[in-house]
Structure 1
Amino acid sequence: MHEINRRTLLGGAAALGLGLAALPGTAHAAGGGRGRVPRGAISIQLYTLRNVLSQDLEGTLRALAEIGYRKVELAGTHGRTAAEFRRILDRYGLRATSGHVSLAEDMNPVFEDCRTLGQRFAVVAWAQFSTADEWKKLADDLNEAGRLACRYGLRFGYHNHAHEFQALPTGEVPWDILTSRTDHRYVHLELDLYWAVTGGRDPVELIHANRHRILQYHVKDRAADGSFADLGTGTIDFPRIFSHSREAGVLEYIVEHDEPTAPLHTAKVGYDYLRAVRFPK
C-alpha cells in the first residue's frame, strides 16, 4: 500500500467563542457521567508514530501493545507488503481495523490489501479542490469506490481537514457537497475533531446533521494557540462531544497527533485519556 502524503493546515485558526472549547481547567474533567469509551473502540493512527516506526517498526508496535492498544489505523505499510505487515501486527496482538487509502483508477488492489490486513474500514485521507464541480466529481468517485468496498466487506469513508469547511468562491462549501452528494450507505465520515474545530465548526452540530454516519473519530486535541496537543492537555471539550457518540454512530475513537515531539508518550497519554474520560450518556 502506498504511503499517504499528509499535509498540515495550521493556518486559519477558528474562532473558539462558539462553545467549541471549554474554559481552562474544565475541558477534560472526568465528571460523574456514566458514559465511557469502550476499550475495544480505542485505536491510534500510526501516522502519529511515523518517525519512530521508520526507525524501529517492530519495537514501536510492541510498545503500543504494551500501552494497551489492540487496534491501529494505517497510513501505509512502511515498505512491507500487506501480508508482511499483517504478520508483524499479529505477532504483537494488534489488528489494523482501519487504514487511510488514496483513490485510484482501479480500487480492487487497494481493497484486496485492506482485506489481507484484516481491515474493517478504508478511508480516503485527503482531497483538495478549488471548484464545486471537482468536489462533486470526488463525491461521485467516493460513491463508486464505496459500492466496490462493500463487495470486499469494507466500510468506505472520508476523513476531513479544515479546508472542507471553507466556502468556495461560488459560496458552496465542500463539506456540504460531500455529505449531500455521497450515499450514506456506501460512504461514512471519519470526523477529525481537531480539524473540524480549526475549520470553525462545532463537532456536535456536525453530528446532529449526520446522525449514524460518523463511524470514526480522530481524537486530536488543540492547544490554545491552535497547535496540536496531547489528549487532555488542550482546549477541545471531548466529554461534550462523546456524549453524542451514540447519535453519531461512532465505532472507533482513533488517537492522533500530527507533530508529536515524543510519539510513544503521546500514544500513552492518548490511550490513558480515553480509558479515563467520562461523559453524560
Structure 2
Amino acid sequence: MNYKIAYQLYSSRNFPPLATQLPILKSMGYDAIEPWLPAYEADPALFRRQLDDAGLACFGFHMPLTGLVNEPARYLDIAETLGATYLIPPFVPKEERRETSDFWKGIGNKLAVGADKAAERDLKVAWHNHDFEYFALPDGSRPIEHILGQSEAVLFEIDCGWITRAGADPALELQQYADRIACIQVKDTAPLGTVEDDGWTATGDGIIDWAALAPLFRKTTADHIVTEHDNPSDWQRFALRSIDYLSNLGL
C-alpha cells in the first residue's frame, strides 16, 4: 500500500498567497492539502475550486474545537464543500487547560458529541495532538487517554513530532491507538536545543527513526499521511525533501 500524501498548509502560511502554492505542491507529487483556519474560511467554495484546478484533494482540515461545539452545522457544511472526510480540532489554548482528568474527559465528551453529529452526514471527527497531551497529570494519567477515551467514534490524527518533543515514544502510541488512527502526521524534529526553524525540520532530516516507524504505520487504520513543519524558512525545500523521503521509504 502506498499512502496518499497531504501537505499541511499551515507550514507555508508565512509565504502567501496560498493559492499559488497549490500547483507547486501538485508538481512535487502531493495528492492533497490539509488546510487550517482561516485558509478556507472566507470562501470555502472558492478554495475548493482552487484545489480542483490544481488537481489536489482535501481529506481533512483543522478547525477550532469551539467551532465543533458551537457551530457544528457550519463546519460540516465546509467539510462537504471541500470534499473532506475528517474534521480535525487540533488544540486547547494553554490558558484554558486544567490539570485534571475531569477537564480532559470533558474535552473528549465534546469531541464525542461532534463525532455523533458528523456521523449523521457520513463525516468523521479526529483529534490532532501537540505535546501537552503526553505530560502526566497529578493522578498519573495523560490527557490523551481521556480525550480519546470517551468515545470510539473520535479518531486520531497522530503527530509523531510533538509526541517526540514531549519525551514520549511515537512507536508505542502508534501501537496503542492503531485502530483509532485516521491519518499520520510525519512531523520531524531536530535535536533538542536547535534554534533554526524553531527546531523543526523536513521529514527524514531529524532525529525520528521513520524507517522503524513505517511498519507500524501499516498496522494502523490510517488512510493517508500528512507532512508538516511549524516554521520553515524555505517551505518548498521542506515540502520537497519530505515527500521525496517518504517515497524513498516506500510509503
TM-score, normalisation: structure 2: 0.89
Shift of 1:79: 5.6
The 8 Å contact of residues 122 and 157 in structure 1, kept in 2 or not, is answered as yes
- Residue of structure 2 in register with 1:67 after alignment: 28
Write the distance in 1 (CA, Å) between the matches of 2:58 and 2:14: 19
- Residue of structure 2 in register with 1:221 after alignment: 188
Query: Aligned to 1:50, which of 6, 9, 13?
Result: 13
**How many residues are paired up?**
238
Aligned residues with identical type, % of pairs: 29
Larger RCO (CA under 8 A, 6+ residues apart)? 1
- Residue of structure 1 in register with 2:124 after alignment: 155
Map of 1:106-121 to 2, 5 A cutoff?
A: 106-121=71-86
Query: Aligned to 1:210, which of 138, 156, 177?
Result: 177
Query: Aligned to 2:57, which of 90, 95, 99?
Result: 95
**Counterpart of 1:247 in 2: which secondary structure?**
coil
- Residue of structure 2 in register with 1:252 after alignment: 224
Shift of 1:243: 0.5
The aligned amino acid for 1:197 is T
Query: Which whole-Å deviations, capped at 9, do the CAs of 1:81-134 have from their partners, x for residues lacking one?
Result: 111100111111011111001123131111111110100111111125213222
The 8 Å contact of residues 224 and 234 in structure 1, kept in 2 or not, is answered as yes
Shift of 1:251: 1.1
Return the structure number with greater helix share: 2
Query: Aligned to 1:83, which of 32, 45, 56?
Result: 45
Instruction: List alignment gaps of at least 5 residues for structure 2.
Output: 194-198
Query: Which whole-Å deviations, capped at 9, do the CAs of 1:132-186 have from their partners, x for residues lacking one?
Result: 22211111110000011112221210001111111223333211212322x22x2
The 8 Å contact of residues 35 and 61 in structure 2, kept in 1 or not, is answered as yes
- Residue of structure 2 in register with 1:11 after alignment: none
The aligned amino acid for 2:122 is G
TM-score, normalisation: structure 1: 0.80
Considering only aligned residues, what root-mean-square deviation do their CA atoms show, in Å? 1.6
Write the distance in 2 (CA, Å) between the matches of 1:276 and 1:152: 37
- Residue of structure 1 in register with 2:196 after alignment: none
- Residue of structure 2 in register with 1:33 after alignment: none
The aligned amino acid for 2:191 is A
The aligned amino acid for 1:89 is L
Instruction: List alignment gaps of at least 5 residues for structure 1.
Output: 1-36
The aligned amino acid for 1:223 is A
Write the distance in 2 (CA, Å) between the matches of 1:209 and 1:232: 24
Shift of 1:78: 5.3
Shift of 1:64: 0.9
Shift of 1:210: 1.6
The 8 Å contact of residues 239 and 278 in structure 1, kept in 2 or not, is answered as no
